[in-house]
Amino acid sequence: MKLMIEHIGAIAPKAEQLAMAALLHDHALLQDHLATFKGQIFNSLQLLHTGIQRMKAEGLPVDAMAPMGGIYLSMQFNLAGRVTPAGQVLRTPEDVSRYLIDHAGLAVVPFSYFGMARAEWWFRAAVCAVLPEQIESALPRVRDAIIALGNGQ
C-alpha cells in the first residue's frame, strides 16, 4: 500500500496534465507567461539584492552577489560568534539560518548544503514564490534582527 501511495503522489492528476498540455500547445500564451514570470523573478532578486547592499553600506556584516539568473540570491550573513537577545551564540551557519527564520521571517539555506563547505557564511534564498511586497517587508526585519545581535567574541 505504501508503494501505491508514493506512486499516486508522484503523478499529477489528469486535470492538471490536460491543462499543462493545453498551455504547452499555446506558444504565444506560454511565452507571455514566461516573460512575465521571469520579469517578476528578476525584480524580486534585484529588490532583495538592493536591500542587502543597503545593509552592507550601513556597516552590517552582510553581502550579496548580483543576480545572475535563476531564482536564487546568494547572500552572506557573517554573524559568527554574535549573541542573540536570548543569549545564544551563533556558531554555525545552521544557527544563523534558524535565527533569521525565527526573528526575521527570512528562510535561507547555507551553501554547505550544496557542497560548498568553504563558503561557511554564505546562504541561498529562493524568490520564486515570494511577492515583492513580502521582500520589502522582510528587509527591515532582517536589518533589525542583525542589529539586535550582540558581539560575543
- End-to-end CA, the chain: 54
Question: For residue 29, is it within any domain?
Answer: no
β-strand pairing of 109-110 with 62-64 = unpaired
Question: For residue 34, is it within any domain?
Answer: no
Question: For residue 27, is it within any domain?
Answer: no
Question: For residue 70, is it within any domain?
Answer: yes
18-59 residue pLDDT tens: 988 888 898 999 899 889 888 899 999 999 999 999 999 999
| Segment 48-77 mean pLDDT | 95
Tell me what percent of the residues of the chain surpass a pLDDT of 70. 92
Amino acid residing at 35: A
Question: For residue 15, is it within any domain?
Answer: no
Question: How many Å separate Cα 36 from the centre of its chain?
Answer: 20
The torsion angles phi and psi of 71, rounded to 5 degrees, stand at -120, 10
Question: For residue 76, is it within any domain?
Answer: yes
Per the structure, the count of domains in the chain is 1
117-131 residue pLDDT tens: 777 899 999 988 888
Question: For residue 147, is it within any domain?
Answer: yes
What is the span of the domain harbouring residue 73?
Answer: 39-151
Here the CATH number for the domain that contains residue 80 is 3.90.1150.10
Question: For residue 12, is it within any domain?
Answer: no
Alpha-carbon torsion, ordered 110, 63, 141, 129, to 10 deg? -60
